[in-house]
Structure 1
Amino acid sequence: MQHFYVWNFNKGKKIFFIVSLALITALILSFEPARLFSTFSTDQTTALTKGNVNENKLSLTFNISWGEEKVYDILQVLKDQKIRATFFVSGEWAERHPQIMEEITKQQHEVGMLGYRYKSYLDQDIDQVKKDILHAKEVFKKLGFKEMKYIRPPSGHFDKEIIALAEQLELEVIHWSVNPNDWKNPGVNEISSMVVENASGGDIILLHASDSAKQTAESLQTILPNLQKRKLSFVTISELLTEVIANEKLVE
């Protein structure tokens, strides 16, 4: 049998309780150290979703798995604004577009991977996933990326088993905290507004550089200056992680 406990308050006591609880919560949060937000977080399995909320830094990330036109528009906007981002690229796409990979690295953007084939890892058994990741690592190594640190599972689909496998293969799973679904092309204003209104320190913004994302480059023209006006700066995933680790060491 399930037992439910109900607290009864008169109006005055209820208000006093709510206000007191809010004050206690605020005090706890004010003394809480900078932290790393993760999904499926245990001592052994973590996926980065958000960085240090106490710093005015956030990461702009782009997924790309097909096409070769829109990525140039995005790279040009980032170059004009002098912003470094992290590109998550499928091994299959990188293999077909080594010149674009060179341009991405030439502009000093960071590169993570989406595995080899852009196919949900939850639709494959774990051995297939392992083969896909190892194949991707080999492809990137041949392209000059000897130390791939980060992986974003295709479509953002993963579970604890996939995170554990990634860690076994010396990769960290990177998710996101702000997603305007720009690949659906809902409109430049909708993409821009969603990011500008929801992004804050520590966030990882998911955008796309595949040819399906027809409105992303134009949206960046609004997103970037508006976030900069709020004193937010853009860093790579590595820099976001470094900031978190440094703060964690300070409060140990």
Structure 2
Amino acid sequence: MRLFVFSKKSLLKSIFVFLIFTFSAVFAATGRFAMLDVFLQTQRELPIYCVETNEKKVALTFDAAWGDEYTDEILDILEKNNAKATFFLVGAWVDKYPDKVKKIYQKGHEIGNHSTTHPHFSQISPQKMKEEILKTSDKIKRITGKGTTLFRPPFGDYNSLVVKTVKETGHYCIQWDVDSIDWKDPGEEVIYNRVVSKVTNGSIVLFHNYAKQTPKVLDRIIKDLKAKGFEFVTVSELIYKDNYYIDHTGKQRPIGNNTR
């Protein structure tokens, strides 16, 4: 009979490997990768691209950074269809169009934060990021009486440090999983097909208030998605506020019984 002698160091290493393997197997089976990532400290910080939900809910979002030519028309279409949306506003836009900010808010839509000067956040310091976010939140609060809790990075540009810094300002970092590419003016049918074919439960759709083809196709998009059973909610109504994790695709998923 052959005897195997393990040193204390080897034994501890074997136990550690066994625990990691067991831990991984259990969490792979239960889908709780968020806790595993925290344990291993391997998770990359990600914004929320979409939400896991059994409900047929979708969030329409509009970034406002430049002009306001089509804002009123978009608001009219939303109102006609009894659809709520979230508008991500740049601080410079807020300064230029305070009446539009007030109108968006008074129409019952949500206002999110899109920075003050629309820089690439991955290229500026955490201190500058916080200034960009908090300054715009203050601008919006002076008009509406309410600050912001949602932030969308300009250009969709982020890294782990950006997401971490956004959280430190008390904001949820929001991206999108359905891009209308309306800013490219690709044609009404292209915008329509991209949105209607890609929307699923918990989707966040990206539009722009200054894209000239958006108001021409928005009514049809809303009506056809409604015909499929979708309800339009704000981003804050869509996302989980606690007991969640964000998987490697950017989908926000509930932990435990925090489901809907």
Structure 1 position 145, deviation (Å): 4.2
Structure 1 position 58, deviation (Å): 0.9
Q: What are the Cα deviations for residues 102-145 of structure 1, in whole angstroms up to 9, with x where unaligned?
A: 11011100000101111211232333222222222222222234
Rounded to whole Å, the distance in 2 between the matches of 1:59 and 1:179 is 12
Rounded to whole Å, the distance in 1 between the matches of 2:108 and 2:42 is 33
Structure 1 position 202, deviation (Å): 0.7
Structure 1 position 80, deviation (Å): 0.7
Q: What are the Cα deviations for residues 51-72 of structure 1, in whole angstroms up to 9, with x where unaligned?
A: 1242211100010111121111
Unmatched segments (≥5 aa) in structure 2: 1-27, 35-40, 245-253
Kept in 2: contact 1:91–1:136 (CA 8 A):
yes
Kept in 2: contact 1:87–1:109 (CA 8 A):
yes
Question: How many residue pairs were aligned?
Answer: 216
Aligned 1:150-165 pairs, distance under 5 A = 150-165=150-165
Paired AA for residue 228 in structure 1: K
Which deviates the most, 176-185 or 47-56? 47-56
User: For 1:238, which of 214, 221, 236 is the aligned residue?
Assistant: 236
- What is residue 218 of structure 1 aligned with on the other side? 216
Aligned 1:1-252 pairs, distance under 5 A = 45-210=45-210, 213-242=211-240, 248=255, 250=257
Paired AA for residue 76 in structure 1: D
Kept in 2: contact 1:51–1:202 (CA 8 A):
yes
Kept in 2: contact 1:52–1:244 (CA 8 A):
no
Rounded to whole Å, the distance in 1 between the matches of 2:233 and 2:138 is 27
Rounded to whole Å, the distance in 1 between the matches of 2:69 and 2:207 is 15
Structure 1 position 84, deviation (Å): 0.3
- Sequence identity (%): 28
TM-score (norm 2): 0.75
Paired AA for residue 71 in structure 2: V
- What is residue 38 of structure 2 aligned with on the other side? none
- What is residue 8 of structure 1 aligned with on the other side? none
- CA pair 106-51 structure 1, distance change in 2 beyond 3 A: same
Rounded to whole Å, the distance in 2 between the matches of 1:80 and 1:119 is 35
- CA pair 201-140 structure 1, distance change in 2 beyond 3 A: same
Structure 1 position 90, deviation (Å): 0.5
Q: State the secondary structure of the residue aligned to 2:48.
A: strand
Give the CA RMSD over aligned residues: 2.7
TM-score (norm 1): 0.78
Structure 1 position 75, deviation (Å): 0.6
Structure 1 position 78, deviation (Å): 0.4
